[in-house]
Amino acid sequence: MSPAEAKNQIKALTTELKQHNYNYYVLAMPTIADFDFDKKLEQLNKLEKEFPEFADPDSPTQKVGGDITKEFVTYRHRWPMLSLGNTYNEQELLDFDQRIRKAIGDNFEYVCELKFDGLSMSLTYEDGKLVRAVTRGDGVQGDEVTANIRTINTIPKRLYEGGDYPNYFDIRGEVFMHRKAFDRLNNERLENGEVAYANPRNFASGTVKMQDSAEVAKRPLDCFLYFLYTEKPVFKTHWESLQAVKSWGFHTNEHSRLCNNIDEVFEFIAKWDKDRFGLSYDIDGIVIKVNNYSQQQELGFTAKSPRWAIAYKFKAERVQTELLSVSYQVGRTGAVTPVANLKPVLLAGTTVKRATLHNANEIIRLDLHEGDTVFVEKGGEIIPKIISVNPDKRAQNAVPVVYRTTCPACDTPLERKEGEAAFYCPNDEGCPPQIVGKMQHFIGRKAMDIDGLGDETIETLYSRGFISHISDIYKLYEHADELKQMDRFGDKSITNMLDGIEKSKQMPFEKVLFGLGIRYIGETVAKKLAIHFKSIDGLMAATQEELVTADEIGERIAQSLVDYFADEKHREEIEKLKALGLQFVVEIKEVKLASEKLSGQSFIISGVFEKFSRDELKDLIEQNGGKILSSISAKLSYLVAGDNMGPAKLEKAQKLNIPIISDEELLAMIEI
């Protein structure tokens, strides 16, 4: 293949696979079989190896910034992971009950459990230790994701010694993300200019499939366990096994209930159909299992699922309403998001007037026409979604909704970056919602947190021509008298605001850096960059290669920084802010930490830590006179080990008899 051909193919495959990842993980609507995806990914991987010069740094074959790849070892399940029969109505549930009675008589119990909306996981324990975690995959074999699963706090890595658990067992359950964590992390993604996930389940499954366990550790997952598999029978009933695994330290769900008959099952269903919105996590139904194991055995399996269990799925509430119009919102990064304005309709207890349309692809997927009647659904999620269009109600001459080609705010032609679903308004200097959004981001609670200045005031001050750049905020005091004349403000509120602005000059560099609103630079990343580069000058001088050497900084973030600082306008603004007295250097605190306690000692830090980043630990060691080495040798004094450390390093350290200590032991050495 000629280089030109390779270049084209790499480009085409990259774009296509990115779109598939997006469809799969964000929209939850894959349009390609897993197998075909894998084949294309393999092809891309091969081409990139042969022609590395054409590889996109953000290629789907790389796990840049913690996105998806599919490179896991497949592992065959000791016991196949079957799915469950599904029903949506009560009659089918009565039929299920009848079938069971026919086969085993009337003397049996059911266990009712919530059906957690996550992804199922099979865990294997040997001698009380978690040795393997495997996804369901096709039911016969799945992906081995042990390192990622080990980051989940509620999954025991080791059971207490001497417990009455078998030497070998599999335990299965559902990995999920609590809705609160989902909202928080998803908002962070949006703020950082990344695409948001559609629901907690997709976020959880996207997370479990990440290559970088350190990134997984930052996303709080939880897991409820609900099936125990042992070589020899240990318990007589499922209920007993649930109590037992709980006593071994596993997280089981407290709402499971033993039911004597199908009427009690219906009661349970009715309760949770109503109460499910009050849970901190999403459920999509109820699972009903025959309790007694020997009765389960008698009932047996069909090819796909057990005959002794069934899932009753809740109907997501769905209503029809009319599409009134599509409007477009411009975010601070310039991303333009379409929103459907709907004829108000009551749904799951609230009046719905708007639904997000995500992006242009979604409009195409729905084949949305003006005046369409649409089906709107609200599951566990807060934001209602348009599921589909009712084609029967479409007027004959209805015209398709066409995504607009210019910015709704400033009329600039929109642009789309390759491989991205969103359209952008490139006019960042002249587009009002972008200008206002950037200033609002800067004063926000997580950034400069300026007292006495809020989002609305920013809008007013902008529309009256007082501010259009961050630096203008710091010159507002020059207009104090004019501002006091304005009917909206009182003397006192102006004074408060100006005080707040003055005080914010003391905010640390990491907050200023985050406040600048550089794409992909979220709160945590800003902190890492500040720690590593110490000042804006250091950061601006860093090349792409130097940037990626910092803790957790990938190619995508590095590229975004390089682009940002290459822009003359940005450099000028930074100079202005510097002159105004904002913090652009990390304040080297003369903290009492600094000591000579570690002098003469050398350290290597490896793995991930709950409370510290590696850079923070490094700083701590150096501030106390210790030295950081780059590779393990007999000269090394200590290996500071966190979670998910590479096995090779560990082995080498053990061979050389180097003491392995935890972060806490390190702190104890410096006594803080």
Annotated binding site for Zn(2+): 407, 410, 425, 431
The one of ligand AMP, Zn ion, none whose footprint includes residue 120, by CB under 5 to 8 A per kind, is ligand AMP
Tokens standing for residue 228 = 């125990």
Can you read off the two tokens belonging to residue 51? 């022609």
Residue 113 binding: pick among ligand AMP, Zn ion, none (C-beta 5-8 Å cut-off by kind): ligand AMP
| DSSP 8-state class, residue 430 | T
The token duo for 522 is: 């979220």
Q: How far apart are CA 41 and CA 155, in angstroms?
A: 32
Residue in the structure block whose two tokens are 């096709």: 138
List interacting residues with ligand AMP (CB under 6 A).
83-84, 86, 113, 115-116, 120, 174, 226, 287, 311
What single string gives the DSSP state of each residue in 115-177?
EESSEEEEEEEETTEEEEEEE-TTSSEEEB-HHHHTT-TTS-SBPPTT-S--SEEEEEEEEE-
Residue 119 or residue 640: which is nearer to ligand AMP going by CB? 119
Instruction: Report whether 463 contacts 409 (CB < 8 A).
Output: no
Contacted entry of ligand AMP, Zn ion, none for residue 435, CB cut-off 5 to 8 Å set by kind? none
User: Could you tell me which residues are annotated as the binding site?
Assistant: 34-38, 83-84, 113, 136, 174, 289, 313, 407, 410, 425, 431
Q: Considering the complex, what minimum distance in angstroms separates the CB of residue 240 from ligand AMP? A: 16
Which CB, 226 or 533, lies closer to ligand AMP? 226
Helix ranges (DSSP H) in 444-490: 455-463, 470-473, 480-485
Annotated binding site for NAD(+): 34-38, 83-84, 113, 136, 174, 289, 313
Shorter beta-carbon distance to ligand AMP: residue 136 or 469: 136
534 phi-psi bin (left φ>0, alpha ψ -120 to 50, beta other): left
* Residue number with CB closer to Zn ion (75 or 423): 423
Residue 310 interacting entry, from ligand AMP, Zn ion, none, C-beta within 5 to 8 Å by type:
none
> Where does this chain touch Zn ion (CB under 5 A) — which range of 67-75, 198-206, 252-260, 422-430?
422-430
- DSSP reduced 3-state for 341: strand
Considering the complex, what minimum distance in angstroms separates the CB of residue 359 from ligand AMP? 27
435 binds Zn ion (CB under 5 A): no
Amino acid at 646: G
What is the closest distance, in whole angstroms, from the C-beta atom of residue 177 to ligand AMP in the complex?
14
Nearer to Zn ion, 431 or 666 (CB): 431
Alpha-carbon distance 430 to 422, whole Å? 20
- C-alpha to C-alpha distances, 208 to 157, 168, 205, nearest whole angstrom: 17, 24, 5
Task: Give which of Zn ion, ligand AMP, none residue 174 binds (C-beta under 5 to 8 Å, depending on kind).
Answer: ligand AMP
Q: Does residue 407 interact with Zn ion by CB under 5 A?
A: yes
Task: Tell me if 133 contacts Zn ion by CB under 5 A.
Answer: no
228 binds Zn ion per the rule CB under 5 A? no
20 vs 201, beta carbon nearer ligand AMP: 201
Residue 185's binding partner out of ligand AMP, Zn ion, none, with CB under 5 to 8 Å set by partner kind: none
Distance CA 638, CA 603 (A): 5
Catalytic residue check, 7: no
Q: Which of 146, 214, 210, 144 is nearest to 642 (CA)?
A: 214
In angstroms, what CA-CA distances link 539 with 156, 266, 331, 510?
A: 41, 62, 26, 12
Binding test (CB under 5 A) with Zn ion, winner from 195, 310, 431, 436:
431
Choose, by CB under 5 A, the member of 319, 410, 669, 670 that binds Zn ion.
Answer: 410
**Would residue 607 be called left, alpha or beta, if left means φ above 0 and alpha means ψ between -120 and 50 degrees?**
left
Token pair belonging to 669: 């050495």
Three-class DSSP category at 321? strand
Tell me which of 7, 11, 18, 115 is the catalytic residue.
Answer: 115
Where are the alpha helices (H) located in 73-145, listed in sequence order?
90-104
Which residue stretch of 201-209, 297-305, 410-418, 627-635 sits at the interface with Zn ion (rule: CB under 5 A)?
A: 410-418
Q: Which is nearer to ligand AMP, 83 or 506 (CB)?
A: 83
Shortest distance, position 276 Cβ to ligand AMP, whole Å: 13
Phi, psi of 153 (to 5 degrees): -60, -35
Q: Which residues bind Zn ion (CB under 5 A)?
A: 407, 409-410, 412, 425, 427, 431
The set of catalytic residues is 115
